Amino acid sequence: MIIEFEKKDFNIKHIFECGQAFRWYDDGDHFTSIHKGKVIYIREEENKIYINSPLEDFDSKIWEKYFDLKKDYGKIKNSLIDNEELNKAKEFGYGIRILKQDEFETIISFIISANNMIPRIKKSIETISSMYGDLIFEDEKRRYYSFPSPERLASADPKDLRKYARVGFRDERIVTASKMLLEPSFNINLLKNMETDILREKLIELPGVGPKVADCILLFGFGRAEVFPVDVWIKRVMEELFIGEEVPKSKIKLYANKYFGNLAGYAQQYLFYYGRENNIGKERKKENKAK
DNA sequence: TAGCAGGACGTAA
DNA sequence: TTACGTCCTGCT
């Protein structure tokens, strides 16, 4: 079974490489992605996108939701302020979409992301899935495992997470957060219905979740598109392109809100991808250090 | 081999 | 409220 649609505001590479997701592979002529215990192959041809699954139980609705296909990203881009630098970023990452990822997986993934780098985060998540998830499929490239349930991760030994999944000091955080997420006050349906600021406070109760990680979870796991996560990259990019001077991390959000309003999350993705791929702000940082 | 990159968190000012 | 040192791994 297959989903097929017009290639408009959709670029597979942009979607997966803009730093929002970790369970995907660039397999040359196609990308492979794992989500909610399912595997898909996704490829672009001329002006069409094809998503197909090697598994029997293919539910196109899951993937429509995951890729946010109902949303008109052209319209979003047009609604963002007309700013020269932002326009460049929009053009550069023209096919970015914000994925709607599984809530639990997003929480654990971004706890792992703290003080960490994307290739290492990907490796840790892959190992964790192979240790505590279920084998769902195998092709000539690799074996695919589902991301473990909160129950499975709650009973994991932090020492194993450290030793095999190389998560370092995040080991206890992962297990404790998984345990807390099994408590009634963290019931997923309860969380889903919370107002964004309340939900952020709730998420920060989890060990390993601070303001930045909470914002990533809100944006990528709970679909709160008005949220603007501030990491070292986006800080540099905002300072370089919009603010013109170094400001504390806490101030960056105020600028984002002023410029992008409730579309801040989309702007963040275009700017993050554009800034990181082009090393924006990094040179200036080096210069400052040399002084 | 030492240095660096990357957020959370505890402590101190 | 802000500023700092520490927690790890993997790369150069």
User: Which residues partner with A91 through β-bridges?
Assistant: none
A193 vs A106: CA distance, rounded Å:
17
Structure confidence by residue, pLDDT tens digits, A42-82: 999 988 999 999 888 888 999 999 999 999 999 999 999 99
CATH architecture of the domain with residue range A232-290? Orthogonal Bundle (1.10)
CA dihedral sign, ordered A268, A33, A104, A175: negative
Nucleotides of strand B under 7 angstroms from a protein beta carbon: 5-9
CA A289 to chain centre: 30
Structure tokens at A94: 């023209």
Q: Which nucleotide is nearest to A124 (CA to C1')?
A: C9
Give me the residues near strand B, CB below 7 A: A 113-117, 169, 173, 204, 206-214, 231-233
Between CA A67 and CA A76, with CA A73 as vertex, the angle to 5 degrees is 135
Structure confidence by residue, pLDDT tens digits, A9-18: 999 999 999 9
Distance A184 CA to B7 C1' (A): 28
Q: What average pLDDT is seen over chain A?
A: 92
Distance A45 CA to C8 C1' (A): 42
Q: Which nucleotide is nearest to A232 (CA to C1')?
A: B6
What percent of chain A lies above the pLDDT cut of 90?
Answer: 81
Confidence of residue A1 (pLDDT cuts 50, 70, 90): low
Give me the residues near strand C, CB below 7 A: A 115-116, 119-120, 123, 162, 166, 168-169, 248, 250
Closest CA to A107 of A125, A134, A133, A130: A125
Closest CA to A83 of A276, A286, A255: A255
Confidence of residue A115 (pLDDT cuts 50, 70, 90): very high
Q: Which nucleotide is nearest to A171 (CA to C1')?
A: C8
CATH of A2-70, one of 3.30.360.10, 1.20.1250.20, 1.10.3720.10, 3.30.310.260: 3.30.310.260
Distance A169 CA to B11 C1' (A): 19
Domain ranges of chain A: 2-70, 103-220, 232-290
pLDDT at A192 over 80: yes
pLDDT at A289 over 60: no
Q: Does domain A103-220 have CATH number 1.10.340.30?
A: yes
Distance A49 CA to C6 C1' (A): 47
Task: Give residue A291's pLDDT.
Answer: 38
Please give, one letter per residue, the 3-state secondary structure of chain A.
CEEEEECCCCCHHHHHHCCCCCCEEECCCCEEEEECCEEEEEEEECCEEEEECCCCCCCHHHHHHHCCCCCCHHHHHHHCCCCHHHHHHHHHCCCCCCCCCCHHHHHHHHHHCCCCCHHHHHHHHHHHHHHHCCEEEECCCCEEECCCCHHHHHCCCHHHHHHHHCCHHHHHHHHHHHHHCCCHHHCHHHHHCCCHHHHHHHHHCCCCCCHHHHHHHHHHCCCCCCCCCCCHHHHHHHHHHHHCCCCCHHHHHHHHHHHHHHHHHHHHHHHHHHHHHCCCCHHHHHHHHHC
Task: Give residue A46's pLDDT.
Answer: 87
Distance A196 CA to C10 C1' (A): 36
pLDDT at A285 over 70: no
Please give, one letter per residue, the 3-state secondary structure of A243-257.
HCCCCCHHHHHHHHH
Task: Give residue A290's pLDDT.
Answer: 43
Are A104 and A117 within 8 A, CB to CB? no
Distance A136 CA to C9 C1' (A): 29
Amino acid letter for position A28:
G
Nucleotides of strand C under 7 angstroms from a protein beta carbon: 1-3, 7-11
Distance A111 CA to C12 C1' (A): 26
Distance A221 CA to C10 C1' (A): 28
Confidence of residue A153 (pLDDT cuts 50, 70, 90): very high
Structure tokens at A174: 């992962």
pLDDT at A288 over 70: no
Q: Tell me what the mean pLDDT of segment A153-174 comes to.
A: 94
Q: Which nucleotide is nearest to A282 (CA to C1')?
A: B5
Task: Give residue A71's pLDDT.
Answer: 96
pLDDT at A87 over 90: yes
Distance A162 CA to B9 C1' (A): 19
Q: Which residue is nearest to nucleotide C7 (CA to C1')?
A: A169
Q: What are the Cα distances from residue A199, in Å, to A71, A98, A185, A205, A216? A: 24, 19, 11, 10, 12
